[in-house]
Amino acid sequence: MNKMENRDITAADSMSDAEVIGLIIKGEKNLYAILVRRYNQRLYKVGMSIINDDAEVEDVMQVTYIKAYENLRKFEFKSAFSTWLTRIFINESLLRLKQRKKSVPVSDEAMQNEINHQSSTAIQTPYMKILNVELKAILEKAILNLPEKYRTVFIMREIENMNVAETQECLDITEANVKVRLNRAKTLLKNSLSKYYKNEDLLQFHLTRCDRMTEMVMKQIECL
């Protein structure tokens, strides 16, 4: 990007999603980088709750960003852009699971049943803010070992701080189900562990990775 584009991005960074989208639709496609940076963290965390494969999650993130960009003019602001983007991402993630295991349906049933219990291997993070590194690894392992439908709601609500309404809309489940699954997830994590987790520390999509993801997405968009 040239210096003018960098200044444009800096000036537009404080704008709402709707304002940024409006400028993108008018031709300032470089501003899409703002949206990518805003939602990298969310998509990564939600993706790990569903797919639980670091590299594959990044790949699905790219697919999602490109698909969202290609359909940006169709976005009608009936919901928040973040909700719309997250829903696209969840659908793409479930599709990836279907491709991996043909028996997994891409439907709400995938969210209603305990399917695809993922590997209990803890995520290897390059830095730790929690002093007790071993405890953090245990917490991440416990979260990632939850059944998918509980793990996804837990990460969306407790780690990504999404509200009940947005979680409900993204997963296409009832408000009651959101609350039940969250409570069940907390029970499974056990009281002895749940009091230690820090939502700002777990499942981080670090700055260098955010930069790389943004660069890869914008290179593809330049060709569209």
What are 174-208's pLDDT values in tens digits?
999 999 999 998 888 865 464 555 555 566 776 77
Looking at domain 3-222, does it have CATH number 3.30.1280.10?
no
What's the mean per-residue pLDDT of the chain? Answer: 79
Residue type, 184: R
Q: Is the pTM of this model over 0.85?
A: no
Task: Kindly tell me if the per-residue pLDDT of 76 is higher than 80.
Answer: yes
Structure tokens at 221: 């968009």
Structure tokens at 57: 């999650």
Cα–Cα distances in angstroms (integers) from residue 134 to residues 33, 60, 140, 159, 191, in the given order: 35, 30, 10, 19, 18
Break the chain into its structural domains and give their ranges.
3-222
130-150 pLDDT, tens digit each: 334 666 677 788 888 899 999
